[in-house]
Amino acid sequence: MIKEIKGQLTAGKGKYAIVISRFNEFITSKLLEGAIDCLTRHGADESQIEVIWVPGACEITAAAKKLASGGKYAAVICLGAVIRGQTPHYDYVCQQVVRGIGQVNYDCSTPAIFGVLTCENLEQAVDRAGSKMGNAGASAALAAMEMANVMEQL
């Protein structure tokens, strides 16, 4: 008989930290709404959710690492929006946040979920923040609950 582990899509009793960047807040606030709505619809009480605002995507990793290190949270959900401008800055910000959140996942046993939009333009970001392409914050919340449940079983 093969042992199989699958994560349930329920919030359980653990706490969820949401790290969110203020840069492009008109987009990230929609991701936050989607994440909170998804967590509460899947059984989370508001007391299980903590929201931590940081200046921009580059600062997400520092907060996520501290939150994921303490063993206090079931998962850390990272939300941000990087939108390409006319400078190479976009690529550096993307590299930093992708590598940073990836590193948190290597270093900590609390899962850090990547819910950062990396978009070519504003339209793509709007599409993924609660319109045509869904809400990336809600998708990140689903992944957080599933991973929290998987990690609990490992």
Residue 21 interacting with ligand INI (CB under 6 A)? yes
DSSP secondary structure string for all residues of 35-83: HHHHHHHTT--GGGEEEEEESSGGGHHHHHHHHHHSS--SEEEEEEEEE
Instruction: Tell me whether residue 89 is one of the annotated catalytic residues.
Output: yes
Binding to ligand INI, residues 90-109 (CB under 6 A) = 90, 93
Catalytic one among 13, 22, 41, 89?
Answer: 89
Comparison of 55 and 70: residue with beta carbon closer to ligand INI = 55
Binding to ligand INI, residues 54-73 (CB under 6 A) = 55-59
Q: Are strands 129-131 and 75-83 parallel, antiparallel or unpaired?
A: unpaired
Residue 7 interacting with ligand INI (CB under 6 A)? no
Among the candidate windows 2-10, 29-37, 39-47, 50-58, which touches ligand INI by CB under 6 A?
50-58
Residue 78 interacting with ligand INI (CB under 6 A)? no
Chain centroid offset of residue 28 CA: 11
Q: How far from 55 is each of 7, 28, 63, 89, CA to CA, in Å?
A: 32, 12, 11, 16
Q: What is the CA radius of gyration of the chain?
A: 15
Comparison of 29 and 40: residue with beta carbon closer to ligand INI = 29
